[in-house]
Chain A
Amino acid sequence: MAYNFKEVMSRPERLVPGHRMCAGCGATVALRNVLKAIKPEDKAVIANATGCMEVSTFTYPYSAWTDSYIHNAFENAASTAGGVEAAYNALKKRGKIDETFKFLAVGGDGGTYDIGFQSLSGAMERNHDMVYVCYDNEAYMNTGIQRSSATPMFADTTTTPSGTVSDGKKQNRKDLTEVMAAHKIPYAGQTTLMGNFKDLIVKAEKAIYTEGACFLNILAPCPRGWRYEAENIMDICKAAADTCFWPLYEVENGEKWTITYEPKKKLPIEEFLKLQGRFRHLLQPGKEDQVAKLQAEVDKRWELLQKKCSL
């Protein structure tokens, strides 16, 4: 699509002010912009997993969503959206609905990588015509910053605290976008908040308007969990992409891999770490080996991704 920043940004808001998300929260920015990719004339139903996004945007009796919206539970946004989509197919077939509806399931990394993983995998395999949007803030932020399988190695969380004999989380993060691509779904994309949001909105539009099950993974920093000042969020996202910690890419039908943002100069991982309090313990003298280990993991994954994209 030819991206027109002015046109896209002047579309009516579908996630409106009045909600209680934090200043500097990546999830809110991510979702608000994903919804911009829906054609204004189309209707939508959003199924939201339990998490910050849900409890802060649909506190009875108020909703910040102009579209129909359903929160069911923590682990089942995908199957709930699948049920809504099945209802749409049934009612459309029986002549009870004329309008075009788009279906989005939304969850944080807890509701997506972990507790909702089975429901997600099932819905993707069944190829419901929907988009699953993960706002990945790399820990269970709603319950107070506990580690998830999306948490990077050495991050300090409340269940992997750094301490005198601990450097934070011991394990590497799960690469969920690749797992979703392995489902051979029509479209899987990975993005974050960058510049004029072209990468995010183009991918969201592709996902929403590609028939079948699509997956969008958006790195969405959390100021409480990552410990940064609200105004620094865009710098952190850019550093995530420029260090190749969070490469921006997409996969069509599990076959066609494309890197959508190639950093002019690949920056060392410290450029990403130093902007966040959750890695403060790593940037101390004596922790050089740990940083090198993290760098090696980023490099390895980036090289593998490049190989897939050059095939």
Chain B
Amino acid sequence: MAIRERLSGNEAVSTAIRQINPDVMPAFPITPSTEIPQYVSSYVADGLIDTEFVAVESEHSAMSATIGASAAGARALTATSSAGLALMWEELHIASSDRVPVVLALVNRALSGPININADHSDGMGARDCGWIQLYSEDNQEAYDNMVMAFRIAEHPDVLLPVMVCQDGFITSHAVQNILLLEDEEVKKFVGEYTPENYLLNAENPMAVGPYAVTNYYMEARRSMAEGMVASRKVILDIAREYETLSGRGYSFFEEYHTKDADYVIVIMGSASGAAKDACDKLRAKGKKVGVLKIRVFRPFPAAELAAALKNAKAIAAMDRAESFSGNSGPMAAELKAALFDAKQCPEILSMVYGLGGRDITVEDMEMIYADLEAGNFECKELPYRYVNVRE
């Protein structure tokens, strides 16, 4: 029986953690993810869960201890944002190459500098090539649902890769919205017991983790990680189907919002998808064939599926909430273009960067973007791609 609640994104993710009752959570505070370790600490203090919470002295140590705990045989997770994720960067690679199925609640925030505590995806995008599965959430409900599904994906024997559950800082993490929660017992049953095959604390069969492996083995290790990433596609969909049976909420690699017959599509991730959907609704009411494609799973990148979903689009706005300084486009736009090239599709693509450091993007902005797509206005000025809402 679903529980109706009103929670912020951080409360939603923390509630999922409480329901999972993981073995170990090392964490270090950083805005805007700080509330997550705070809530978990209070659950421990009030005896609601018996997780070992380790208040480490840095994010680097947070991920190091999370890896150690997971390798030891525990279900382990951490939470962070921005500079915290940047400080973990070395460890993100070690987590995925050690094949420890850990989970990270990422509350997306801009990277310095200038130092800025507000939302954008430059932290998550900077970690996109670290061997982690990345799930992006539009709102508190999705952040909760993704969190409940995360360990199942990570721990699946065909995958054994860490999972990052992303939500936008403040916009999602701190805004209180209605939410439907599962019963505690339903979550416990869905997530299940963690029973790793090999682990450090196995008294009968010791294990060694993190070897020195040079030219004769390194490529095989990396390829096996890539195979896990490819195998995760099926697992992500299977678990989403199982979750839909339980919750009534369906998930896939992305959400298609009026895209089936759309000539003009905005491709976007995270909280700003809502503004795009509102604009889409307004224009649909006027008979415009517009749609929104909201990416949920950025890693693995659902290239073929995206191309199939966009096969009728005449023009696409590929909207990145991150700058990658490639000199060509935002990071998602680049991957989308590659996906369409492989599918021999050649729609017009307007690459746009928006919302950096928490800058607002409105429904009206989205309507103007649709108008440009329809009018064939793909003009860019200073850069080969377009910045939205930036001072000239």
Contacts and interface: CB of A to CB of B under 8 A. Distances in A.
A82 B64 CA distance: 9
B57 A125 contact: yes
A76 B91 contact: yes
A101 B54 contact: no
Among B58, B72, B207, chain A packs the most CB atoms within 10 A around the CB of B72
Contact of A83 (B26, B50, B94, B217): B26
B207 A68 contact: yes
B48 to A, nearest CB: 15
A168 B323 CA distance: 46
B73 to A, nearest CB: 6
B276 interface: no
Given A54-B212, A79-B64, A121 B51 contact: no
A65 to B, nearest CB: 6
A235 B351 CA distance: 70
B61 interface: yes
A87 B211 contact: no
Interface in A73-97: 73, 75-76, 79-84, 86-91, 93-94, 96-97
Contacts of A58: 208, 210-212
A119 B60 contact: yes
A70 interface: yes
Interface stretch (B182-190, B197-205, B237-245, B384-392): B197-205
Among A59, A66, A90, A119, chain B packs the most CB atoms within 10 A around the CB of A90
B126 interface: no
A83 B210 CA distance: 15
Among B23, B200, B206, chain A packs the most CB atoms within 10 A around the CB of B200
B24 interface: yes
Contacts of B24: 83, 86-87, 90
A308 interface: no
Interface residue range, chain B: 35 or more
Contact of B65 (A66, A82, A98): A82
Interface in B58-113: 58, 60-61, 64-74, 76, 90-91, 94
Interface of B is mostly: mixed
B226 to A, nearest CB: 18
B57 A83 contact: no
B208 A83 contact: no
A274 interface: no
A61 interface: yes
A126 interface: yes
B212 A55 contact: yes
B69 A84 contact: yes
B26 A70 contact: no
Contacts, number: 164
B64 A119 contact: yes
Given A70-B208, A84-B71, A90 B57 contact: no
Among B60, B64, B70, B217, chain A packs the most CB atoms within 10 A around the CB of B64
A73 B90 contact: yes
A72 B54 CA distance: 18
A228 interface: no
A96 B23 CA distance: 11
Interface string A164-206: 0000000000000000000000000000000000000000000
A146 interface: no
Contacts of B211: 58-61, 63, 71
Given A79-B56, A122-B57, A73 B91 contact: yes
Nearest to B71: A70
Nearest to A55: B212
B206 A80 contact: no
A60 B68 contact: no
A310 B157 CA distance: 60
B55 interface: yes
A75 B56 CA distance: 14
Contacts of B23: 87, 90-91, 94
Given A82-B54, A86-B68, A90-B51, 14 more contacts: A59-B212, A69-B208, A70-B208, A72-B67, A73-B64, A73-B91, A80-B65, A80-B68, A82-B26, A83-B26, A83-B69, A118-B57, A118-B61, A121-B57
Interface of A: 43, 45, 47, 54-55, 58-61, 63, 65-73, 75-76, 79-84, 86-91, 93-94, 96-99, 101, 118-119, 121-123, 125-126
10 contacts: A43-B201, A60-B217, A69-B207, A71-B211, A72-B64, A83-B68, A86-B54, A87-B201, A91-B72, A99-B203
* Minimum-distance CB pairs A-B, first 4: A83-B68, A83-B65, A122-B57, A87-B72
